[in-house]
Amino acid sequence: MTTTGTTATAPTGSPTSSSTIRRSRLTKIVATLGPSTTTPETIAKLFEVGVDVFRLNFSHGTHEDHGARLKVLREMEARTGRPIAVMADLQGPKLRVATFANGPITLMPGQSFRLDLSKEPGDTRRVGMFHPEIFAALTPGTDLLLDDGRVRLRVESCGPDFAETVVVSGTKLSDRKGVNVPGVVLPLSPLTKKDREDLVFALDSGVDWVALSFVQRPEDVAEARKLVAGRAALMSKLEKPQAIAHLDEIIELSDGIMVARGDLGVELPAEDVPTLQKRIVRESRRAGKPVIVATQMLESMVSAPAPTRAEASDVATAVYDGADAVMLSAETASGDYPIEAVSMMDRIARRVEHDPLYRTIMDAQHPDPQQTAADAITAAARQVAHTIQAAAIVTYTTSGSTTLRAARERPEQPILCLTSVIETARRLQLVFGVHAVHTEDIANFSEMVQKATRTAHKDGIALEGQRLVITAGVPFGTPGNTNILRIAWVEAE
């Protein structure tokens, strides 16, 4: 049973009160805020039409810009009584060529072209590239991709401060275009000086997720975890093919994974990206870590009121794969139709989730439970909920582990999460099917059952007389200690 319809009521209550907006889909939507979506009215409309997680892109804008948007979000959270997740997306190292003396140049395939550390403006024979780390990693035969792959150079000879290359393809190159080095692990930390300053600001401001760019190795994630120090959940962005060789370790060290297909598509053959996307989603789901599919999902809606059919199919594919969330970037940050883009993504996700094939796929892809009581009970909860056609599965959690375990099963019912920790409620807004409610601390299981049934009714998740499947860990406060399953009847207050 998949819920239908949209529930939305006037904003009332406090941060610990019941929901004012309940989504009618299980897949979540992440939207990026930017120049097109700055005013409180626009942000409120994005939330109303379907955004679950708001992304602050630190590649653009100032701390003041991001702080002002975060203030709007926290005021909206207080007004609506709904936990709202905020993600700070760090820029990471930006590898670029320098500038040219006389503007853009024309290249010819087969011609020689030099990259070096000289600060002299470039010309048709050479240009500066102020990244000694790149030169240190190059060997003859290495390919360099410039301007998102529009120009391809092949290294003929190189040293610590230069690379003599030949132009393989591409005819135009202009100032400060990006550089990619496919197949090479660069000796670079994913955290630049700017990233570290942005991270301090984001954590002090109270963001819920930090997205780490330029992840190449497990050590990159470990470095970021040490700096975050538990103050936010850590999302590893998989945009470098080098990370795929360490996929399992990176997933294990991360709280969530983002499939950043833009850069993956630059450094990998286009035909490899769809299968890699499916692999990353599958492995993240198996590990019980939330996974986002991102980049250019509805790209044409930056300037058009409707997507292409291919874009609609792209979003649908991510939903069929069982991704926790799909993400909008420029579509909402700088596009002309941000509200329409979110509405379209919402409609596509709901349509897919009502397709009988979707449930067939989800049921065929349940990860095998681990040999623990917690996994056994959570897997049983999904089966019981299906058998009795329960309105929802209810979890009570402090750390979020019980709820994440339930979401890993991809049940057909929504997951009503009760937690006394507001940070946990916010972070779980990203997770498949979760309707998180920040509630007062609960003393015992009986009180939890009563709270669950009344909250489910008040939030429009279940009607009076319907049944809930409830899981929890007793004694309360022990993370991951799921050891109780109960069926309860919904009652009104």
Question: Domains plus CATH for the chain?
Answer: 7-93+189-363 (3.20.20.60), 105-180 (2.40.33.10), 367-489 (3.40.1380.20)
Q: How far apart are CA 67 and CA 205, in angstroms?
A: 7
Q: What are φ and ψ of residue 412, in 5° steps?
A: -80, -15
CB-based contact 420:441 (threshold 8 Å): yes
Q: Cα-atom radius of gyration of the chain, to the nearest Å? A: 24
**pLDDT computed for residue 20 by the predictor:** 46
What does the block give as tokens for 341? 């883009």
CB-based contact 472:402 (threshold 8 Å): yes
The bridge status of strand 325-328 relative to strand 28-33 is parallel
- DSSP state, residue 399: S
Q: How far apart are CA 450 and CA 457, in angstroms?
A: 11
**pLDDT computed for residue 365 by the predictor:** 83
**Residue 160 is which amino acid?**
P
Helix (H) or strand (E) holding 209: strand 209-212
Q: How far apart are CA 78 and CA 97, in angstroms?
A: 46
**pLDDT computed for residue 493 by the predictor:** 64
Q: How far apart are CA 420 and CA 403, in angstroms?
A: 13
Question: pLDDT tens digit string along 105-114?
Answer: 999 999 999 9
The upper half-sphere exposure of residue 180, i.e. CA atoms within 13 Å in the direction of its Cβ, equals 23
The dihedral through the CA atoms of 491, 16, 461, 9 has a sign that is positive
What does the block give as tokens for 330? 């420029």
Successive 10-residue mean pLDDT values, the chain, 493 residues: 38 36 91 97 97 98 97 97 97 96 96 97 97 96 95 97 97 95 92 98 98 96 98 96 95 97 88 95 96 96 97 97 97 98 98 96 85 88 96 94 94 96 97 96 87 93 95 74 89 69
Quick one: residue 357, left, alpha or beta (phi over 0 = left, psi -120 to 50 = alpha)?
alpha
**pLDDT computed for residue 372 by the predictor:** 87
Question: pLDDT tens digit string along 20-52?
Answer: 467 999 999 999 999 999 999 999 999 999 999
**pLDDT computed for residue 19 by the predictor:** 41
**Residue 77 is which amino acid?**
E
What does the block give as tokens for 459? 């939030």
* Helices (H), ranges, 11-126: 40-49, 63-80
Q: Residue length, the chain?
A: 493
The dihedral through the CA atoms of 277, 370, 232, 443 has a sign that is positive
* Cross-strand bridge partners of residue 413: none
Residue labelled with tokens 């997770």: 431
> Helix, strand, coil: what percent of the chain each, to 5?
40, 20, 40
**Catalytic residue annotation:** 55, 96, 237, 295
* Cross-strand bridge partners of residue 115: 127, 163
Q: Is 181 helix (H, G, I), strand (E, B) or coil?
A: coil
pTM listed for this prediction: 0.92
CB-based contact 53:324 (threshold 8 Å): no
**pLDDT computed for residue 14 by the predictor:** 34
Q: How far apart are CA 234 and CA 190, in angstroms?
A: 13
